[in-house]
Structure 1
Amino acid sequence: MTAPTAIALSLISHTNAGKTTLARTLLGRDVGEVRDAPHVTVEATPFPLVQTAEGDLLTLWDTPGFGDSVRLVHRLRQDGSPIGWFLSQVWDRYQDRAFWLTQLAVRNVAEQADVVLYLVNAAEEPADAGYLASELEVLEWVGKPVLVLLNQTGRPREREVEHADIERWRAALADATHVREVLALDAFARCWVAEFTLFAAIERALPAPPDARAAGFARLSQAWRDRRMDQFDLAMTALAESIAQAACDRAVLPSEPIATRLGGSIGLPNTARTQAQAAAIREMGDRLDAGLRSSTERLIAIHELEGRAADEVLHRVAGDVQVDAPIDAGRAGVVSGVLSGAAAGLGADLMAGGLTFGAGMVAGAVIGALGGAGVARGVNLVRGRTESSLRWEEAFLDGLVTSALLRYLAIAHYGRGRGEWKQSEYPPFWRQLVVDAVVANSARLAAVWAKRPAEASTDPSTGDGAERLERDLQATLSDMAIGLLDELYPGALAARPA
């Protein structure tokens, strides 16, 4: 039987650079204290990060930040065995607090760490970080492999811009031979796929086989990957369920007397019909609202974030309603209703006597920006129908897919270190990526929508059809989301399980 392996990572940085924030993001729970002040962390604390069925354990140490590293290096240079001398000293906790905290951090790295995760503030220029050279010199004396993590990079940006930042820091650290790699892993806006890149870098930094740590870390890395992919599958299920419910939703309109239908066929106004359609739209909007809120709250929980779905997420949804009319309706027309506030619980925007004609989709915040995605084309006339019903237009369902993927990206990039989840504006370049993905998959989505029940029914077989639609939609969403993540983080998912 293979003996279990214990591997330790030490998070270290200049004080107040975001170590505890990153620890919270990776651990998915509150640890330590996060404040905008120096020396918030006052002791080295271990946290189990991931464990395998074989008993392998990966531990993450959150350490106090470096204090006056320039003065520290000056003292170390005066001794023939710098680190040995330094660790043998006992600094006064109160009279020389900065040195005492630095001693705790360096002692942890020297005694516990297999790999050092050294955070730097990417918002600074390397040449302006006066602490950088001295802290790297201390870590070189310790003699452990170092991975430099660029933290506080800000909201996600185009790949070329982020790559330029990484290359700038790599060039600045090119002469630091103990620095194995430089990676971007922002504690506030990282995406989970970037963690795969981190784990691959840790594996490269560890001694190669036959060292027992190599095999143990491979198992730990796989366990971490499995956990994140399980979260991804759950997220796609949450998104697919709410959209599938909307796709299969129907609102049956009351039957009309023959005289009323004849009047409508020659263009006479029909207030009762308009009011019935408006009421049906409100009901559908309310159900859509509930489904979107539920799926968003599930996404938040799946990603181990606190907080319920903020109203801003569901601030504004607009859509198209298609009327499925019986054969003798007598008049074909376009009914396109804009639900300008339905998903925020504001009800339908009932203009022009109850309906807005010819309107395109309007949406905002994370849920949308889908303007111009399409309008209802007309009335479906199907022989043999005995009732009229409303359903969401396929163009609107495509819009729900677009907004769902944007919502997913926003939540998947939200570092838990920020605390309770709140909706924030997504980077503008995401929208075009997502829209392009939806357009590229329009035929596949059309095949999914084609599985919708033909009309409202209580037949049990209709439920089976809805389940098939949901399964196909989940598979489609998963492939689209993986494609987007591959585009945003090339290579990070290359070795993901089939």
Structure 2
Amino acid sequence: MPHARGSCRPISAKAIKQASAQSARVAALRPWFCIISFMSQAPKRITLDEAAARRMLLAQAIETSDTQGKLLSPVEREEIDRLALQFASRQSSANPVSDANVQAFLDERARQVLGVVENRNPALASLQDRRPWTRWLAVAAFLAAALFGAATDRIANPHRVDLLSLPLLAIVGWNLAIYCALIASYVLQRRKQQQPNQERPASFMRWANSWRGWQRRAGQLRATVTAVFTRQWYGATAALQTQRWRKVLHLAAAGWAFGIGLSLFARGLVVEYRVGWESTFLNADQVHAALRVLLMPAMALFPFEPFSVQDIASLQFSNGSGAMAGARWVYIYATLLAVVVIVPRLALALYARWRERVLSRRVVLSLSDAYYQRLLGMLNPTRVQFGLLALRDEDRHALLRAMQPRKQTFSPAESAPGEWQPLMRTSTGEALWIADIPPASQPQQPPLQPLNTSPSWAGRAFGRLMKPRPAEAARPVPSPQQAAHDDSDVMLIVVQGASDLEAVQPARSEAPKPTLLLVNPPATADTGPEVAVALCRAKARTLGLHAEVLGFEQFAHSWVQAPVLLDALARCMPSHKKTAFARLSEAWLQRNQALFAESMQVIATQLLDAAREVEEARSALPYVKRLISTTDRQADALARKAAMATVVERLQRSVRQSHARLLRLHGIDDAQGMLLEQPLKEKFDVQAPINAKEAGLAGAATGAASGASIDLVTGGLTLGAAAALGALIGGGAAYAGAAWKNRATPAGTTLVQLSDEMLQAMLAAALLRYLAIADLERSATVANAESGETAVLWESRVVAAVEARKDSLARFWAEARTQPGPGQTAQALGDELQKIMRVVLDGLFSASQSHGAL
């Protein structure tokens, strides 16, 4: 059938399939394009001056050696990273990983590190500066060698110059051998086409590596850092150190020869030299030939009178006493030392000095070490992206509540499908993003662009002539959902059971993605969570879905279960994103721990304030005999009741304030938080002045009246009175108690104050309140906190944990009553509460993983 005018040419299913496959292949390679682009842009090495290189290597040695945070705490390191990133962001370079930007960032960060360390260990921070004595080492070597050469008496005795002196021949021969070795080294280096900055002489590398043994033997942090820095410094600047040592050795050799020549002239002022030679095996002709070769440089460059064989024969000591005119030979030998040793060595020293200046400005640092790779990642932070696919809104919300703090709002309903939303960021710039990808019962075909919409016959004819191949005919425009799927590093698929997998299967792209399958069985399910996870794992294997399978009961009920989810995500993470995700996981756990510590600190401060609460009840002295009088007992009771009411009012205000602060910390609004507030019933410790002599008589009679129970209701959870005062039994115990209260109470007054048992019960109530708030942070309602089975379990765990630490808590209450403010006691109590609460949380949620959801 002919097509209507202006209609689009239909595209075959084969063309659609080919185009989709091509799009899938491109999407699969897209993450690798990003990482390859970053690797190609990031420098593998940087060139900088010596001072900056020393700073960077010293900072590296400090940070890699200080694993316990003695020199730099984790908080300080994060702040240093932040400041260095701010400094790098102000640079003009458009490329964040350009050589100039990387060098500026690393140098600024090293300055920040050493600035902090200098306040704690100035000696260690001083390693960033070159030792002053090293600048004078070459001069000192020249002077010391000159003195040594002048003091030596090996070339001649005080009255004789030996023409065949073995020390003189050794000096000349040794220097000539050194020159030959240097020439050979230069030729071999040119053949290997090595760059000067890449020189790593074997001697220096062996010496630098020997510091590893000192590092292992060193027990102190300073010695360890020094060993690591020295090894890294000499390893990175082997060529520079070689030139410095060459300069020193050349100057020492020149100084030695200069000292010898100076000694010859100085001694000749007061001594008359006799010049000659003696030998057992050589005759005059052979000595003449040897001297011609030996003295050739001096004779060729300077106009000395040549000597003949007869002259040499006349100088033999066995034929006479030698020549008296020794000045000529002293000049010849001094010139020989200058030509063969002093001048060449000074020239080599000058060349070494020039090479030293060049290399000190071009120190090359390799950035392949893991330390620098982590820092480079800050300049170009990695973005980890999760695609979320869930069939039901309640499953989607349940996962999001488990993955992010409640105060960070993220609502898929308010964002468009496929739109990326941030979950969290690290201080170094890594970010975690998530996008909602709605499921589809049918694979969505992207809209196709028409090839020809011309209504004229000429346009249709031209279109037929220019008809492209079928694969080119389909030009799919991916939807936001498809693009989000293609850009995801890991797909998170949330199901309630194995039957949901068939509905999720068609929505999966042809390009496989690492997948984490999360099973959230409904509360009314016939099977337990473990069975549901096992069925989903078997069903996924049947459908060919290669995925990690994890149940919600293993990670979704408390923040202490977060490592389970993070480990599963790490196993699914592509290799080029694992390092960045490890930093995100660390930040995730640190965020949870910081929130937990701050929550316990709020509770500790409130309890210490309660321990310091005291109110005076003005009444007559309540002797034991007045306990029998009804009128006196009623008056005394009214006074105490008024004092109790005052304390209750202040306690309720303190509890409301701490409760509101906990709600703000966990990002819960006041409307939902009000559901957790319930009345508070108190038990008081009334310290009244009692007649010590008569206290024991009334002890047994008043024991039953003194015993009571405490009911604290919070979050719908009733805590029975685990801390009752009990009955006071008479005798010595009652007498001792009355004496203590008389000393602690002003004469004629009665003080109303919370007892240790009451404070312990308030602590249990506060911990239950924290559990309810933390649960509400991950729940849509307070239904979980109101369930009777959960309430009993929470209560039993909390009461047992608090009771186990009863003795240590009593010391905090006693310190609080003697201190005007929280002071260090609040921090110490906060740490103690963290230990108590971790016991409760580990017990609750390890049990939940074994026996199902709470």
For 2:718, which of 369, 383, 389 is the aligned residue?
A: 369
Q: Does 1:7 align with 2:375?
A: no
Alpha-carbon distance in 1 for matches of 2:584, 2:701: 56
Aligned equivalent of 2:142: none
The 5-angstrom pairing of residues 124-163 of structure 1 reads 125-127=497-499, 129=500, 132-136=501-505, 138-139=507-508, 141-151=510-520, 162-163=529-530
1:117 alignment partner, SS class: strand
For 1:462, which of 800, 810, 819 is the aligned residue?
A: 819
Aligned equivalent of 2:587: 223
1:251 alignment partner, SS class: strand
Structure 1 199/59 Cα, relative in aligned 2: closer, same or farther at 3 Å?
A: same
Q: Which runs of 5+ in 2 are unaligned?
A: 1-374, 447-470, 729-733, 849-854
Structure number with bigger Rg? 2
CA drift at 1:445:
2.1
For 1:314, which of 671, 677, 684 is the aligned residue?
A: 677
CA drift at 1:491:
11
Q: Does the aligned pair in 1 maintain the 2:519–2:550 contact within 8 Å?
A: yes
Aligned equivalent of 1:287: 650
The 5-angstrom pairing of residues 42-61 of structure 1 reads 42-61=416-435
Answer 1 or 2: higher relative contact order, Cα 8 Å, separation at least 6: 1
Alpha-carbon distance in 2 for matches of 1:163, 1:295: 39
Aligned equivalent of 1:99: none
Structure 1 328/491 Cα, relative in aligned 2: closer, same or farther at 3 Å?
A: closer
Q: Does the aligned pair in 1 maintain the 2:710–2:720 contact within 8 Å?
A: yes
Aligned equivalent of 1:413: 775
1:227 alignment partner, SS class: helix
Aligned equivalent of 1:360: 709
Aligned equivalent of 2:755: 393
Give the aligned CA root-mean-square deviation in angstroms. Answer: 3.8
Count of paired positions: 420
Q: What's the CA shift string for 1:264-315, capped at 9, x where partnerless?
A: 2554432322111111111111112111111111111111222257454332
Aligned equivalent of 2:839: 483
Amino acid of the residue matched to residue 400 of structure 2? A
Amino acid of the residue matched to residue 413 of structure 1? D
Alpha-carbon distance in 2 for matches of 1:334, 1:311: 44
CA drift at 1:392:
1.4
Structure 1 333/302 Cα, relative in aligned 2: closer, same or farther at 3 Å?
A: farther
Amino acid of the residue matched to residue 303 of structure 1? H
CA drift at 1:194:
3.0
Q: What's the CA shift string for 1:244-267, capped at 9, x where partnerless?
A: 2112211111142x6x75862554
Q: Does 1:199 align with 2:566?
A: yes
Q: Does 1:472 align with 2:828?
A: yes
Aligned equivalent of 1:105: 481
CA drift at 1:468:
4.4
Q: Does the aligned pair in 2 maintain the 1:117–1:146 contact within 8 Å?
A: yes
For 1:66, which of 439, 443, 446 is the aligned residue?
A: 439
For 1:448, which of 809, 812, 826 is the aligned residue?
A: 812
CA drift at 1:182:
1.5
Q: Does the aligned pair in 2 maintain the 1:247–1:452 contact within 8 Å?
A: yes
Q: Does the aligned pair in 2 maintain the 1:17–1:151 contact within 8 Å?
A: no
Aligned equivalent of 2:230: none
Alpha-carbon distance in 2 for matches of 1:116, 1:439: 46
The 5-angstrom pairing of residues 176-255 of structure 1 reads 176-184=544-552, 190-208=557-575, 211=576, 213-255=577-619
Amino acid of the residue matched to residue 425 of structure 1? E
Structure 1 304/163 Cα, relative in aligned 2: closer, same or farther at 3 Å?
A: farther
CA drift at 1:424:
4.3
Alpha-carbon distance in 2 for matches of 1:215, 1:279: 63
Aligned equivalent of 1:96: none
Amino acid of the residue matched to residue 147 of structure 1? L
CA drift at 1:6:
1.5
Amino acid of the residue matched to residue 66 of structure 1? P
Q: TM-score with structure 2 length normalisation?
A: 0.44
Aligned equivalent of 2:803: 439
1:141 alignment partner, SS class: coil
Alpha-carbon distance in 1 for matches of 2:725, 2:700: 6
Q: TM-score with structure 1 length normalisation?
A: 0.73
Alpha-carbon distance in 2 for matches of 1:299, 1:450: 26
Identity between Structure 1 and Structure 2 (%): 23
Structure 1 248/275 Cα, relative in aligned 2: closer, same or farther at 3 Å?
A: same
Alpha-carbon distance in 2 for matches of 1:6, 1:491: 35
Alpha-carbon distance in 2 for matches of 1:49, 1:42: 16
Amino acid of the residue matched to residue 579 of structure 2? A
For 2:688, which of 300, 315, 325 is the aligned residue?
A: 325
The 5-angstrom pairing of residues 80-91 of structure 1 reads none
